Amino acid sequence: MTAKTEKQKMLAGEPYRPGDPELAADARRARAWMVRYNATLAASPDERRVLLRELLGHVGADAVIRPPFFCDYGQHISVGDGVFLNFNCVILDVAPVSIGALTQVGPGVQFLTADHPRNPELRRAGVESGRPITVGANVWIGGGALILPGVTVGDDAIIGAGAVVTRDVPAGATFVGNPARPLPRG
Confidence at residue 175, expressed as pLDDT on a 0 to 100 scale: 98
* Tens-digit pLDDT profile for residues 4-54: 999 999 999 999 999 999 999 999 999 999 999 999 999 999 999 999 999
116 is catalytic: yes
- Say if residue 104's pLDDT is above 80: yes
Lowest mean per-residue pLDDT among 43-47, 85-89, 141-145: 43-47
Residue from 29, 116, 131, 181 carrying the catalytic annotation: 116
pLDDT: which is higher, 89 or 185: 89
pLDDT level of residue 1 (50, 70, 90 thresholds): confident
* Tens-digit pLDDT profile for residues 169-186: 999 999 999 999 999 876
One DSSP character per residue, the chain reads: -PPPPHHHHHHTT--B-TT-HHHHHHHHHHHHHHHHHTT-TTS-HHHHHHHHHHHSSEE-TT-EEPSSEEES-STTEEE-TT-EE-TTEEEE-SS-EEE-TT-EE-TT-EEE-EE--SSHHHHHTT-BEE--EEE-TT-EE-TT-EE-TT-EE-TT-EE-TT-EE-S-B-TT-EEETTTTEEPPP-
